[in-house]
A = this chain, B = another copy of it.
């Protein structure tokens, strides 16, 4: 009798291994062949696969093979482009936040608002964002990065859609000034928000690039009060993290 220090659902693990094996070869192999490869009895393999088929995670296919079923595809659909980035980024950002003792966030542009999809870490008292929350784009570091990498026509539309109310004395409220700022952000590859969204809140942000060059997400580090780290220190860390996210999400980076 195995004493289990950490409870592990072993039958679940076995079934998932079978699922992966089925998906891995694109549905060509017979069940018996898979059973041999994984070293499980044929009857067990049949039961596992049959069960996965019944529940819609796999589907029978042509002669004996199996392919991904509707529920697996539905799962895939939920993890849309942006969510894929967020999921890949989560552990990386968590680590960064722990290292720096700062708040680290990831946001995407949905409509003309920034959706904050990840927020981790401690230390920025007057930072009001929460996961799932949406906020104006024109005044935050993440928002400026995302706007800066928008296609030309969409950026024009956004700029024409003002007004841009001031949240602090430093908020950029003029469309022309904002356009210039976005141009600068696009050029230098990062944005700095120095008290534009809340007094004393400083934040640096960089884009996460898609394989096709689009920018669907941006990550930022926020600090309030006495800044612990100067931007010059944070920027290379943030750049490295963005590259790491791209590798995790797409297998390579694009710079």
**Cα A104 to Cα B223 with chains together (Å):** 54
The A65-124 residues at the B interface (CB cut-off 8 A) are 65, 67-68, 70-73, 75-76, 78-80, 83-84, 86-88, 90-91, 94, 110-113, 117-120
Complex contact B76–A75 (CB within 8 A): yes
In this complex, what residue of B is CB-closest to A58? Answer: B87
Q: A61-B90, A67-B110, A76-B80 are in contact. List 15 more A-B contacts (CB 8 A).
A: A11-B12, A12-B52, A13-B51, A20-B71, A23-B78, A27-B90, A60-B94, A61-B113, A62-B113, A67-B111, A68-B79, A73-B84, A75-B76, A76-B79, A212-B248
* Cβ contacts under 8 Å, A113 to chain B: 61-62
A39 close to chain B: CB less than 8 A: no
- Give the copy number: 2
**Complex partner residue of A65 from B51, B59, B67, B111, CB under 8 angstroms:** B111
Report A66 CB to chain B, min CB distance, Å: 9
**Cβ contacts A to B, 7 pairs, < 8 Å:** A27-B131, A59-B90, A67-B111, A68-B79, A73-B79, A212-B250, A212-B251
In this complex, what residue of B is CB-closest to A56? Answer: B16
